[in-house]
Structure formats: C-alpha cells, structure tokens
Amino acid sequence: MLAGVPLIGWVIRAALDSGVFDSVWVSTDHDEIARVAKEWGAEVHRRSPEVSKDTTSSLETIQEFSRLNPG
C-alpha cells in the first residue's frame, strides 16, 4: 500500500488515465489480486492451473490469454 492505495491500483490507474490503452488487463490466478484489479478498473485474465506454475513462461501465459481473448 502507498497512500492507502494498493501498488497495483496505482499502476492500473496510471495506465487507464494515460488514454493510450483501450483496456488494461491483469493476468493472475489469485483471488485477491483479481478482486483489487477489478476494483481499480482492470479486466482480469484468470490463469488456468497449466500456466500458473513457477516454471511457466511468459509466452505460455500470453498464448493462453490470446487464445481465450481473441481480438
């Protein structure tokens, strides 16, 4: 927390306020992170167990996101 705002909240708000992005997404398998991300205006990609491992590459997560959220 920084000034009463979760750190992820600052990042999401800055991205949304920039006017550069149509939407801001947070990819997580954690309920609390998903809740806070939604609270601050982000869309949430709920990772499957297959891409939520310590050994999962960023590419695998991006591929799953792209497959589940085309366009």
Q: What is the pLDDT of residues 20-59, one digit of tens each?
A: 999 999 999 999 999 999 999 999 999 999 999 999 999 9
pTM of the model: 0.87
Q: What is the pLDDT of residue 67?
A: 96
Asked if residue 71 has pLDDT above 80, the reply is no
Domain ranges of the chain: 7-68
Burial of 22 (0-12, 13-18, 19+ CB in 10 A): exposed
SS (H, E, C) the chain: CECCECHHHHHHHHHHHHCCCCCCEEEECCHHHHHHHHHCCCEEEECCHHHCCCCCCHHHHHHHHHHHCCC
